[in-house]
Structure 1
Amino acid sequence: MNLILVTCALIFSGEKVLCAQRSEKMNLPGFWEFPGGKIEEGETAESCLIREIEEELAISITLVSSLQPNEHAYSDEKVVRLLPFVCSWKSGELILREHQEVRFLPKERLKSLNWAPADIPIVDELLANWDQVQKQLVDYKKR
C-alpha cells in the first residue's frame, strides 16, 4: 500500500470557503475539492500547503488551525491521508493554474457540489464545526 500525504486548504473569505473544481488535466476531473497537494520529502505539512496554494492559485494564505486528517483508499495500492487546514487569505490575486473553476460558498451550499471522495469527510467535519471555525478565524484576525 502506498500512503500519500496530501494537504488541503479551507480558505475563508468572510463566512464563505473556497471550493475548487478539478480540471481535465488532473485526476478526478470535474470533482470539487479543497485545494492543496502532496507533501514533498523534507517538507512540513504547513510549508507544503503554503507552497501548493501559491503554485495552484497564486495567493498567499495564513494557516489558522487544523481539522482531523482523513484517509481514503482510492485503490488497494493508493491511500491518501488528507491533512486539512483552516486558512485565511493573506494576499494576492487569484489565478487558476490547475483548477477549472473556484467558488466561495457559504456553508448552506457546500453539499450541492460533487466532492472528491477524500474531501467528503472534510466537508462534513467543517459543517459540524462551522461556528467554532468561524470563531477561530475572528480570533485570529483580532491578534
Structure 2
Amino acid sequence: MLKKILISRIVVILGNFLTLNLVISTFYIMKSIEVVAGVITDGGRIFATQRGYGDQKDGWEFPGGKMEPGETPEQALVRELQEELAIEVNVGEKICTVEYDYPKFHLTMHCFYCSLAAGCKPKLLEHEDAKWLDRENLNTVNWLPADVEVVKHLL
C-alpha cells in the first residue's frame, strides 16, 4: 500500500514538473524571427503597406519580410520587395534595428531607406492596400507595433 501511494505521489510530482516546464517554455522561450523592412521614399513621400493576412491583418507596415539563411539584410530586402511589390530598389542607409516582442514571437527588424529604380511602380502582390505618406502624415495610419519604432526614427 505504501509503495502504491509513493508511486502515485512520484507520478503527480513528475506530472506537475512537466506541466510547469511546459508553462515556462511557453512564456519564456519565444520563437525569434529576423526580418528586413524598406522605407521606400519618392519625392519626400514614404510608402506604407497594409497587411491582408495573419494575426496582424489590417495593420500598416513598411514592406519587407524574412531573411533567408546566408542572405545579407540588403539582399533579403531586394528579394522581398521584388516578391511582394514587383519592384527593384536601391537599398540605402540603415535607419535602425528594432527588437520587439509580439505575443507569439520575438522580432528583429533591420530597416533601410530604399529608392525605386527608374520606371518602377509598386504592384500589390501580397498586401491589402498601400499609400504614399508625407512625413507629417505618417501617424495617420494604424502602424504595427514594431513599425511604430521605425516611424519614431523618421519623425
Matched, 1:28 2:56: yes
Which residue of structure 2 lines up, in the alignment, with residue 114 of structure 1? Answer: 142
Which residue of structure 2 lines up, in the alignment, with residue 134 of structure 1? Answer: none
Does the residue aligned with 2:132 lie in a helix, a strand or coil? strand
Would you identify which runs of 4 or more consecutive aligned residues in structure 1 move more than 2 Å?
none
Which residue of structure 2 lines up, in the alignment, with residue 90 of structure 1? Answer: 117
Structure 2 CA distance for aligned equivalents of residues 27 and 62 of structure 1: 30
Which of 91, 105, 110 aligns to 2:133? It is 105
Does the residue aligned with 1:71 lie in a helix, a strand or coil? strand
Shift of 1:93: 3.0
Which of 42, 47, 66 aligns to 2:94? It is 66
User: Which whole-Å deviations, capped at 9, do the CAs of 1:111-134 have from their partners, x for residues lacking one?
Assistant: 11100011001001111xxxxxxx
Structure 1 CA distance for aligned equivalents of residues 43 and 58 of structure 2: 26
Which residue of structure 1 lines up, in the alignment, with residue 77 of structure 2? Answer: 49
Cα RMSD over matched residues? 1.1
Matched, 1:15 2:71: no
Shift of 1:39: 0.4
Over 3 Å counting, the alpha-carbon distance change for 1:53 and 1:27 in structure 2 is farther
Shift of 1:20: 0.4
Does the residue aligned with 1:69 lie in a helix, a strand or coil? strand
Does the residue aligned with 2:142 lie in a helix, a strand or coil? coil
Which residue of structure 1 lines up, in the alignment, with residue 152 of structure 2? Answer: 124
User: Which whole-Å deviations, capped at 9, do the CAs of 1:12-64 have from their partners, x for residues lacking one?
Assistant: 011000000111x3441110000000001111111000000000000000011
Greater percentage in helix: 2
Which residue of structure 1 lines up, in the alignment, with residue 32 of structure 2? Answer: 3
Structure 1: 5+ residue stretches without partners: 128-143
Query: What one-letter code is carried by the residue in structure 2 that aligns with 1:42?
Result: G
Structure 2 CA distance for aligned equivalents of residues 18 and 115 of structure 1: 12
Give the TM-score normalised by structure 1. 0.83
Give the TM-score normalised by structure 2. 0.77
Does the residue aligned with 1:120 lie in a helix, a strand or coil? helix
Structure 2 CA distance for aligned equivalents of residues 111 and 104 of structure 1: 12
Q: Which has the larger radius of gyration?
A: 2
Structure 1 CA distance for aligned equivalents of residues 70 and 40 of structure 2: 24
Shift of 1:85: 0.3
